[in-house]
A and B are shown apart, each in its own frame.
Chain A
Amino acid sequence: MSTVPLQAVSPVAGDDPVAADIQGRSPLRLALARLRRDRVALASAATILLLVIVAVAAPLIAHLVGHDPTTQYRDTGLTPAGLPIGPNRHFWFGTDNLGRDVLIRVIYGTRVSLLVGVVSTLLAVALGVIIGVTAGYFQGATDTILARFMDVVLSFPFLLFAIALVSVAGPSITVSVFVIAFFSFAAVGRIVRGQTLSIREREYVEAARSLGASDLRIMAVDVLPNLIAPVIVYTTLLIPTAIVFEATLSFLGMGVVPPTPTWGNMLSDSLQYYQVAWWFILFPGLALLITTLAFNLLGDGVRDALDPATERLFAEK
C-alpha cells in the first residue's frame, strides 16, 4: 500500500472558521422548533396546561366557591320537588340529582381523568416499548411468543374482560389504571416491534456489534433513540383513548367508586335527568370532549413536527 506516494490528508472542506464550541441541533430540538410554529398544537398544549392547573388547584377552587364535590346541598341545590336546579350565581354549572355542585364535580373529575389517562398511558408505553424492543431485537422464538401474546391481547373483547376483572378485584382507580394499561400496551408493542425489526438491520447496529457492544447496550444506545419519535406520537394519542376508556369504565360503574366524581359516573348519573337538567349531562360531556380533542390535536401536531417531510409542505405556502 505504501508503494504509491501519498499526499497529506487534506483539511476537510466546508468547515466554518467559528472557533466556539459547536453544538449540533438535536432532531428533537428541531421538532420542537417546528411544533412552536403549529398554532393548533400550541392552542391544544395551552388547553392541556389549563386542565392540569385546574386539576391541581381543584381544592383551592372548591374553597373559593365554598362548595365541596361530595356535599349534597339539599336546601339550596334542589328544587322543592327534589329536582336539580340550573346554572345560577351560586351553582355556575347547576346541580345534580343529589344537589351537588356540577362545576366542582367536573373540576374534581379532571383530576381522575388526567391521572388515570396519563399514568395508564405511561405504564402501557413502558410495557409496550420493553416488550416490543425485546421481541423485535431478539427475533426467533422470543419474538414468536411475545408477538402472539400481543395479538391475543389485541383480539380480546376488552370491555367484557374489564368487567369480569373488576367484578373480581373490585372497582378502584388502581384497577382501572392496570386494566387500561393492559389493553393499550399491545398496540404500542406492535409498532415498536416493527420499528425495531427494521432498525436492527441498519449498519450502525452491525457496527456496534463489531465493536463488541452487548445486546443491552445496543438496545439502549442504538435502538431506543430511534424509537423516540413514534413513541412520543403514540403516547400523546394514547392519553385521550385512555381517558375515554376510564370514562367508559366509570360510566358502567366499573371504574372509580362513587361518591368520588369522575366524568364517566357523572354522565351515567345524568342519563335519567337529561330531559329536565341539560346542564347535568352537558358539562361533564363537554369536559371530556375538550380534553380528548386537545390531546388528539396535540398528538397530530407532534407527529407532524417529528416527521420532517411536513416541513416542506409548510415552506411551500
Chain B
Amino acid sequence: MTTDVLLRADDVVKDFAVRRHGPRVRAVDGVSITVHHGETVGLVGETGCGKSTLARCLTRLYELTSGTVAFAGRDISRLSRHQLAPVRRDMQMIFQDPYGSLNPRRRVGSIIGDPFAIHGVADGHDRQRRVQDLMKLVGLNPEHYNRYPAEFSGGQRQRIGVARAIALQPKLIVCDEPVSALDVSIQAQVINLLADLQDDLGLAYLFISHDLSVVRHVSDRVAVMYLGQIVETAPARQLYQQPRHPYTAALLSAAPVADPDRADQRQPILLTGDVPSPADPPAGCRFHPRCPKAQQRCTVEAPALVAREPGDDTHLTACHFPLDSVDELVPR
C-alpha cells in the first residue's frame, strides 16, 4: 500500500428537499474521508445513515450541496458532466442490487462493453474479445456473451457488475453494498473476487456495507457513520478491538458471533430509542439521546472528529468522552 492520497473528500454536505421549497433533509453532514492508492476503506453504518448518499456524492452522481471532492489531486466537485467523463474512467461504482443495476433488455456482452463504447476505447470484434476476457477474469463463461441478465443468478449478475466496473482498469471502485443482496456463500465468492482483482489490478475500494463482519474482512481502514456524520475512523483491527466511540462499541457488540461459547458470554450494549430523523437531528452530539455516557456538554456542543490519544493520528473519534474500554458500557 502506498501512502499517496487517491480520493480526498472535505466537509461534504448533501441536502435533499422533501418537497419543492419544502423542508430540507441533510443526508450527509460535513463528511471528510480519504482513500489511498490500493487501499480498502470500509464505511459502515445503519440503514439510512447516509452511506449510499455519500458514495453518490463522491462519484458525483449527486451534486454536492457544499464541500469538495478531490480525485488524484484534482478537485472534481465542481466539474461539469463533460469535464467529468475522463475522471469516470478512473473511478467506477458497483451497485447493491444485482437485479436493478443491469438493464434487463440488453445482452450481457453489451452491458459489459458499455465502458468501452462510452469512452470510445474499443469497437467491434476488439470490444467483444475484451469483454470476453473480462468475463473470464470475473469467473463467467465468455460464451454467455449474448445472454440476458435474467438468465443469470444473483452472484453471476454481481460478477457482471464487477466486470463492467473494472473494464477500463480504474484506480478506485466505490462498492455500494456489493454483497448485501446475495446469499452468504455467494457473498464470499464475490468478496474473494474483489480481493483478487485488487491484488492483480492495484485497485482501491471504498467498501460500503452495514455488515460489520464483511467490512472487517476486507478493509484496511474503517469509518463508522451515524446520521450523516462520521463518528469514528481507525485502522480496521484497531477499530474492532478497541472502539472509542460509544456508537461503534454498541454496533460491534450487536454483530453476531460465530462461536457459540463466545456468543453466550457476550453482553450486547443495548441502545434505547430509534435513530432520530435526519430532517430534525438532535442538537450537540447527534448520538446523545441514545448514548449511555451522554452528559450535559453532549447536548449543546457537537464533538469534532479528532485524535483522542496523543500521537495516534490514525484513530479519530467524534466524542467528548471516548471510551477507554468497551466494558464501560456493559451493564452490570
Is B314 close to A, CB under 8 A?
no
Verify A217–B118 contact, CB threshold 8 A: yes
CA gap between A212 and B116 in the complex, in Å: 11
Residues of B in contact (CB 8 Å), total 57
B151 contacts which chain A residues (CB < 8 A)?
Answer: 24
Verify A4–B97 contact, CB threshold 8 A: no
Task: Tell me the smallest distance from the CB of A241 to a CB of chain B, in Å.
Answer: 27
Complex: chain A residue closest to B96, CB-CB:
A203
Is A37 close to B, CB under 8 A?
no
Is A152 close to B, CB under 8 A?
no
Most buried by B among A8, A202, A225: A202
> What size tier do the contact residues of chain A reach?
35 or more
Complex: chain A residue closest to B168, CB-CB:
A211
Complex: chain B residue closest to A228, CB-CB:
B105
Is B205 close to A, CB under 8 A?
yes
CA gap between A27 and B107 in the complex, in Å: 11
Task: Tell me the smallest distance from the CB of B115 to a CB of chain A, in Å.
Answer: 5
Mask, A183-209, CB within 8 Å of B = 1, is: 000000000000000000011101111
CA gap between A27 and B84 in the complex, in Å: 34
Task: Tell me the smallest distance from the CB of B41 to a CB of chain A, in Å.
Answer: 10
CA gap between A308 and B1 in the complex, in Å: 51
Task: Tell me the smallest distance from the CB of A6 to a CB of chain B, in Å.
Answer: 5
Verify A10–B139 contact, CB threshold 8 A: yes
Mask, B152-168, CB within 8 Å of A = 1, is: 01011001010010000
CA gap between A129 and B151 in the complex, in Å: 29
CA gap between A200 and B196 in the complex, in Å: 33
A212 contacts which chain B residues (CB < 8 A)?
Answer: 84-85, 88-89, 118-119
CA gap between A6 and B108 in the complex, in Å: 27
Task: Tell me the smallest distance from the CB of A2 to a CB of chain B, in Å.
Answer: 6
Is A309 close to B, CB under 8 A?
no
Verify B189–A208 contact, CB threshold 8 A: no
Task: Tell me the smallest distance from the CB of B136 to a CB of chain A, in Å.
Answer: 10
CA gap between A209 and B104 in the complex, in Å: 17
A11 contacts which chain B residues (CB < 8 A)?
Answer: 139
Verify B95–A203 contact, CB threshold 8 A: yes
Mask, A207-242, CB within 8 Å of B = 1, is: 111111110010001100110100000000000000
CA gap between A236 and B101 in the complex, in Å: 31
Task: Tell me the smallest distance from the CB of B199 to a CB of chain A, in Å.
Answer: 6
CA gap between A26 and B109 in the complex, in Å: 13
Is A88 close to B, CB under 8 A?
no
B97 contacts which chain A residues (CB < 8 A)?
Answer: 203
Verify A1–B40 contact, CB threshold 8 A: yes
Verify B148–A26 contact, CB threshold 8 A: yes
Mask, B288-328, CB within 8 Å of A = 1, is: 00000000000000000000000000000000000000000
Verify B218–A1 contact, CB threshold 8 A: yes
Mask, A224-267, CB within 8 Å of B = 1, is: 01101000000000000000000000000000000000000000
CA gap between A214 and B147 in the complex, in Å: 25
Verify A203–B59 contact, CB threshold 8 A: no
Mask, A19-42, CB within 8 Å of B = 1, is: 111111111000000000000000
CA gap between A204 and B81 in the complex, in Å: 18
Verify A24–B146 contact, CB threshold 8 A: yes
Task: Tell me the smallest distance from the CB of B177 to a CB of chain A, in Å.
Answer: 11
Verify B100–A9 contact, CB threshold 8 A: no
Task: Tell me the smallest distance from the CB of A273 to a CB of chain B, in Å.
Answer: 54
Verify A202–B217 contact, CB threshold 8 A: no
Is B114 close to A, CB under 8 A?
yes
Is B103 close to A, CB under 8 A?
yes
B61 contacts which chain A residues (CB < 8 A)?
Answer: 206, 209-210
Is B225 close to A, CB under 8 A?
no
Is B143 close to A, CB under 8 A?
yes
8 A-B contacts (beta carbon < 8 Å) = A12-B159, A24-B144, A24-B151, A26-B107, A206-B56, A206-B101, A207-B95, A211-B118
Give me the interface of A with B, judged by CB distance under 8 Å: 1-2, 4, 6-12, 14-15, 18-27, 202-204, 206-214, 217, 221-222, 225-226, 228
Given contacts A27-B148, A214-B118, 19 further A-B contacts (CB under 8 A): A1-B195, A8-B196, A9-B193, A10-B139, A12-B155, A12-B156, A15-B141, A21-B143, A203-B96, A204-B103, A208-B118, A209-B61, A210-B93, A212-B85, A212-B89, A213-B114, A214-B81, A221-B103, A226-B105
The 9 closest A-B pairs by CB, nearest first: A24-B147, A212-B88, A225-B105, A203-B100, A203-B101, A212-B85, A210-B93, A204-B103, A1-B40
